[in-house]
Structure 1
């Protein structure tokens, strides 16, 4: 019997919430994040992968495409023979030494970016040297940081003439803007997609929206329709669009597939009435998409929802729940908040991650088109890997023919899954990624070539969505690499803790004192904690553990940085004291404390470890909404 190759994911910033004993560790060896961290790598696909990482980490949103254009102007995406010349290590973006040094010496202006680099990418920028910029990712980061110091992205316009002026005035003083413009003539920047979109607008039309506002919303939708028509066409073989409006209840204005050309779509939007009402039932609008519209979406298309609202939802928890259900079904959600009453925290809970590219806020309905570039760019990115959007993987076994590629995504419920993939009569390439729904050979967390003699097993307990692509159609040739089938089997992982490959955990225990007051509860939680932690080898160089007691606030018992040994841990538990009597249990406050203090670098958390929070409780938190929000923020970090 063939021995399967195993890969197990946790990621350096993976955070898992557990109430039973459940943990996340790395087992197996992946091939790394692709070519973007490889010295002297080059090419358009490498550049696009770097830009994707910068966007998904929220470090730099290249909406004007200047950073993308800059790579081509400076080095033709690294293909210019002088890119990696002796004595110069500025890389694809040709970042000069003085420009690079600014990104370190002007540190107070970049503190937020340093934090993102460390938390999202595991990069301590103060440990990076100019010589490291021969790695495309590091060159791209340096270029982005330097642009931020120069006022970008806000000061960079989207037209190439303005970009040429910015280039010669801020980056290449003394050069001619004509050089920039000539290079742009050789760079094809049009949107090109190999798959279609099923785009659903969900618009809040409650009593806060007047008739002039509705006119502006319809104008915005029509502008987007014109753009989609110019990119991929509208209709059965192109993009399809639908509209849902809601106030106290939801209304389906027009369904996917009922209109087949631009003229008809524009007429449908013009004829859509505004149905004002006293409520803002965002949950009903999203539920209509899930219950009445997803059945009409195409398996080869990527389903995208764009929510436009100017008010907080009447049932915030219901709206978030519906959004989670949609996202778990493979739907991408953008949110656009209009005006001062739109609640960004709520929009972030509803939208797909990362929030920097999926959550948009505008001052008024007149400014809706300022969010259009974000949506257009996202739409153009859907087909970069030549695959449709991922379908949600379910327990059990499915079989897929080798005639086309397959892409799936594991549920984000944190239960832990094992995916076994096998191929017959040929080979297949497996690409997996947490950071993108379109893994490529240059942007992935694991890459492997599958053959019949060796099935692959991918294990993950990470709450982030893991996208797995199985490619059986070879590159530009379009030839199949296998003649049989690919089987994908999904099973639950056993709830056991594993330690391998030198990857260790930062484990934070939260004891709920308020719901079970008294020393007997303290003893019970101490005993359970000892049973759990006893499974680990504790030290500063291995697993670390921290403990806090919470009621209306969190109270530290043991910092992660104080981890020494298991006997020392037991001594600390025996010396623990309850903070007092309380009748309230604020788990949201405890999770916020965990995010800001308990799991901070200052108190002993490490950038290279997995993160697990174990909650000991027997009751219901006082504020479920705040708890869910804080849990989501923790996972996002």
Structure 2
């Protein structure tokens, strides 16, 4: 059997189903932890309408309660509350799904996740998704009909009520969980309803809300630019993207927009938003994501016209958030908003409520997916750190596919049809693009045209060494719709052509999306990192691997256990139970204890002398050292900086000057002599009055010892008798005959 050299894909669609995906869902893995797992759980809960307006509370609680599961008490024995540390009493209360406050959430859990919540057990909460769902239900039960607060200080009161812990604990730590950065360019347009159905007070509420969002954004020509439009019977453009490049200017202009009452022709405003967002004359940038924040009561003059215009705007690649004010019409807000609707529809009740949704809208807009269309290619620039770009595309027609490419970097492409923010923790499929090989998404072969694909592009620059070998310096990447390559697979057996079978495809590994790469890496095992104890580093080409340093500065590509990834924050392979028997620390101890019986792990060395296996010692090839309390033993270092105690052979002692064990000279204890003071740094001291004798210090007590035979001298460097002391200093005059 032979295959043509151009074998890349298959012609026969039925065989394509053999392409095995590399899906992963660590949100359902017991004991999983880490920020990527928590982010995936929270995103799922919001996007499935279980708790869509949690105002970042669930994300904050995960960090405060367990440091995203990294706290050693998270998965302790006899406690099953998981990352959100839900105790058994809290959990039992959530199983009453007939309760009016959680009935809808329970139904959504059943329909979206296929989980019958009343049948869930407390031990199931060791799975992060289940722990997060329990936390969401418990929060809803605690809130009852109250509005979810948005500020950290208000949420601290809710934390105390639920967990019974100190308010300051939440206040001091919650902010660390929700740092928001707008890493991609964004053109943000505010579309404000100025019609007669919106009261003057609600219009001022709109302006204050928009101004506060602007104030929270990094306004600049290289980051976020804003524009403001209002509509009633007609459309008023108040400022374009290229009018203001500072937040102070844009905020001031927004607050001074005048209300022009009239009919509610929302579709006119949406149409004008489309032309403004994609017009270079209005300052719109071709390489920026497009986001519209529509603020309205949702009572337009024509629901169908509004729906059509909103859909046309979204089809251009725009993300639409619908914010309801006053007596809003929910179904119209939902029709205008982007998918998933639950995380793109917000409600604004009062001025006090602005803060409640401010953090959420800031995070949601900054992390909005960039839309890939037939006419819009997504571009990015790779930096010295790993960057993640969220994107979204529709499966194209039969003659096209989606491809990612890079010229001087590595791209990991995570794809999902259900999770808006796929990543290492949760994805349906994973691809790898290198300078040698673009990544072609084979899921476009098996999914119906028009299916939404959520895509995360995780980009890493080639290290300097690899870039130099390739002579590349253009650190860019692209993601776009491209024509399918016309490739034919030919099968021959004994020189005779025949139809290809499924078995042929499997054996030929035509669907293999292998992600390993043999590009060189820049060695992170520098002296500085070694001295800081930083011995593990991310492997830039594969999150399931890491670089392990030895103390000589060598690095080793090391594979994490199956199903887990390297956590760059904890510098451990991700999702084993922290503090338990399966932790990397515990495994290290287990490995030590099974070593050869002639070695004993240190500590060891001594209470007053630290581990001699330092970075600088190993750099000088100093692998053997004197044992501080036993002359018949010595310390041997390994390349990982660990110290091992080894015994000399019987009747021999360690000689540091000889770098080996030597035969021990006989000696006898003396009962008289000069007074000496023991030193914490030296347990063997020469007799100042007799070069044939020395003092041995044990617990700061000195015992005199005479070399035997008497012709031997004590060598203060080797710490042994038996050498000619040609450089011995003269005996002080103060020494008397008895000394």
Q: Name the TM-score class by shorter chain.
A: 0.5 to 0.7
Total equivalences in the alignment = 464
Cα deviation, residue 85, structure 1: 1.7
Cα deviation, residue 331, structure 1: 1.2
* Unmatched tracts of structure 1, length 5 or more: 7-22, 494-499, 501-637
Cα deviation, residue 344, structure 1: 1.7
- 1:593 aligns with none
- 1:448 aligns with 431
State the Cα deviation string for residues 551-575 of structure 1 (Å, max 9, x = none): xxxxxxxxxxxxxxxxxxxxxxxxx
Structure-1 separation of matches of 2:330 and 2:115 = 28
Q: Please, what is the CA RMSD of the aligned residues?
A: 4.1
Structure-1 separation of matches of 2:54 and 2:294 = 20
Structure-1 separation of matches of 2:419 and 2:170 = 31
Matched, 1:262 2:247: yes
- 2:546 aligns with none
Matched, 1:194 2:175: no
- 1:272 aligns with 257
Asked if the contact 1:300–1:389 (Cα under 8 Å) also holds between the matched residues in 2, the reply is no
Structure-2 separation of matches of 1:224 and 1:417 = 39
Cα deviation, residue 77, structure 1: 0.9
Structure-1 separation of matches of 2:423 and 2:203 = 41
Matched, 1:74 2:58: no
Structure-1 separation of matches of 2:212 and 2:409 = 47
Distance 1:445 1:215, change over 3 A: same
Structure-2 separation of matches of 1:182 and 1:206 = 43
Q: Please, which of 188, 191, 195 is the counterpart of residue 206 of structure 1?
A: 195
Asked if the contact 1:90–1:139 (Cα under 8 Å) also holds between the matched residues in 2, the reply is yes
Asked if the contact 2:372–2:393 (Cα under 8 Å) also holds between the matched residues in 1, the reply is yes
Distance 1:163 1:270, change over 3 A: closer
Cα deviation, residue 200, structure 1: 1.0
Matched, 1:123 2:104: no
State the Cα deviation string for residues 51-104 of structure 1 (Å, max 9, x = none): 111111111135443322221222111111121122322211112233223322
Cα deviation, residue 284, structure 1: 1.0
Q: Please, which of 162, 166, 173 is the counterpart of residue 170 of structure 1?
A: 162
Matched, 1:466 2:453: yes
Distance 1:251 1:33, change over 3 A: farther
Asked if the contact 1:431–1:447 (Cα under 8 Å) also holds between the matched residues in 2, the reply is yes
Cα deviation, residue 28, structure 1: 4.1
- 1:316 aligns with 303
Asked if the contact 1:49–1:442 (Cα under 8 Å) also holds between the matched residues in 2, the reply is yes
* 1:74-153 → structure 2 map (5 Å cutoff): 74-109=65-100, 110-151=102-143
Distance 1:350 1:168, change over 3 A: closer
Matched, 1:286 2:270: yes
Structure-2 separation of matches of 1:180 and 1:487 = 41
Asked if the contact 1:357–1:374 (Cα under 8 Å) also holds between the matched residues in 2, the reply is no
Distance 1:34 1:393, change over 3 A: farther
- 1:343 aligns with 329
TM-score, with structure 1 as normaliser: 0.63
Q: Please, which of 353, 363, 372 is the counterpart of residue 392 of structure 1?
A: 372
- 1:359 aligns with 345
Asked if the contact 1:401–1:486 (Cα under 8 Å) also holds between the matched residues in 2, the reply is no
State the Cα deviation string for residues 184-211 of structure 1 (Å, max 9, x = none): 47x3544333224322111222233465
Structure-2 separation of matches of 1:47 and 1:393 = 30
Structure-1 separation of matches of 2:377 and 2:179 = 40
Distance 1:147 1:317, change over 3 A: same
Structure-2 separation of matches of 1:37 and 1:60 = 19
Greater relative contact order structure (CA < 8 Å, 6+ sep): 1
Structure-2 separation of matches of 1:454 and 1:238 = 28
TM-score, with structure 2 as normaliser: 0.55
Q: Please, which of 383, 392, 411 is the counterpart of residue 394 of structure 2?
A: 411
- 1:239 aligns with 224
Q: Which of the two has greater helix per residue?
A: 1
Cα deviation, residue 486, structure 1: 6.1
- 2:416 aligns with 433
* 1:486-525 → structure 2 map (5 Å cutoff): 488-490=480-482
